[in-house]
Amino acid sequence: MGTIVPRKRKNGTTGYTAQIVIKRGGKIVHRESQTFDRKQAATTWLGRREGELKSEGGLERAMRPAVALADVIDRYVAETLSDIGRTKARVLRSIKGYDLANMDVAKIASSDVVAFARELSKARKPQTVSNYLSHLQAVFAIARPAWGYDLDPLVMKDAFAVSRRLGFTGGSEKRDRRPTLDELDKLLTHFMGVETSRPGSTPMTVIIPFALFSTRRQEEITRIARADFEPEHSRVLVRDMKNPGQKIGNDVWCDLPPEAVSIAEAMPTKEAIFPYTTDAIGAAFTRACKLLGIEDLHFHDLRHEGVSRLFEMGWNIPKVAGVSGHKSRSSLQRYSHIRQSGDKYAGWKWLPAAIERARAPDETHPTGLFHRSRRQAEIPCENRAKQLGSHPRSHFNSAMRAPA
């Protein structure tokens, strides 16, 4: 069925082309070839490939039209019933821009995935490359059993092992950055000014304190429904909580410290307690840090600060885990960077300010928060200033003028 034909190249070397031709009823139904520098390599490939074609369904798979990995990725995104998440979808779209995505799935080997990881590692950190391969691995895992595509999950397993040894992939960096009280004061003072001058802006003076005291992640905050909040039990149902496996459907009841309960109760919204987008929150936080010269501070660091605060207050691991939602003791150990004992947020002026800010309604906006109607915007500035003097927001400003 197979032959090896030596061919002289222009540079004087010899290449060995292994050819396979399969006939049925006197007609050629399949033909493929591959050229090697050494005859032994050609012989090895020929023997392996002939065995694959003779195996059950081997010839049928070989005769299928070529399918690009990019097409399989598109089908995975389109047909995955559970929400795969914004980050995973973005990563998979990004993978389609690399040469690997243009390859026929039947021809993708672990060496091709390793080459992809090597290319990624030139501009991305090892933990990011790991994320890319993990999301791609999910596609490999179901492509064959679900749709019959010739993608071998073992290819990804081998590629992961090699990429780790070569240093292309790695675990996430352990981050211990925590905001200082001075940095928080700068941020909240800045946002107080923004929200006073632009009433329709995202109320970061409410969201930042809630994130800190509740220890909730950014996306979790925006998903909290009023129906999932039980102030009488000081707890909230966190939908789709992040975990190392599948986060969709991972709904977990988490305890809320009294400060977080007070803020959530004060919010006048009827459905989502914090009806804002993660993009708006993240962009506002990042922009403010850059403007104020606060270096290397992420919104997620508020969670780190909140969990560490609970340890500093003397809470034990099970009690802290009840708030944070961590499943293991080891996961919590990286958050417990004890800097002091007691609660440094006792009497913190920004907690009552956040509650006052949340309570201040504006009947012109469906959520009950600060938005001016078009009619209000047309009122002359001096007249609008007189109206604002009796507006509930004036109480918010008064609260901030009070001693800390």
pLDDT tens by residue, 26-70: 888 888 888 999 999 999 988 888 888 888 877 777 777 788 999
Tokens of 348: 């913190």
Res. 91: pLDDT tops 80 = yes
57, HSE (Cβ side, Cα atoms, 13 Å): 5
Looking at the domain that runs over 69-165, which CATH code has it been given?
A: 1.10.150
Residue 251's pLDDT is what? Answer: 87
Span 333-341, average pLDDT: 66
Q: How much is the mean pLDDT over the chain?
A: 84
CB–CB of 13/39 below 8 Å?
no
- pLDDT tens sequence across 216-256: 999 999 999 999 999 999 999 998 887 655 556 678 999 99
The answer on pLDDT for 94 being more than 80 is yes
Backbone phi and psi for residue 284, each to the nearest 5 degrees, phi listed first: -65, -45
Q: CB-based contacts of 17: which residues, under 8 Å, 6+ apart?
A: 4, 5, 6, 7, 33, 34, 35, 36, 42
> Taking CA 199 as the corner, what is the angle to CA 256 and CA 375, rounded to the nearest 5 degrees?
135
Q: Identify the DSSP state of 171.
A: P
List residues bridging with 21 in a β-sheet.
31
Q: What is the mean pLDDT of residues 158-168?
A: 94
270/277: higher pLDDT: 277
pLDDT at residue 381 tops 80: no
Mean pLDDT of 120-135: 93
At residue 84, does pLDDT exceed 90?
Answer: no
CATH topology of domain 181-401: hpI Integrase; Chain A (1.10.443)
Tell me the CA distances in angstroms from 383 to 6, 212, 378, 390, 393, one per residue in order: 92, 38, 10, 12, 16
Sketch the domain layout of the chain as residue ranges: 2-63, 69-165, 181-401
Q: Is the pLDDT of residue 310 over 50?
A: yes
- Confidence (pLDDT) at 64: 72
Q: Is the pLDDT of residue 72 over 90?
A: yes
- In angstroms, rounded to a whole number, what is the distance separating the alpha carbons of residues 192 and 356? 12
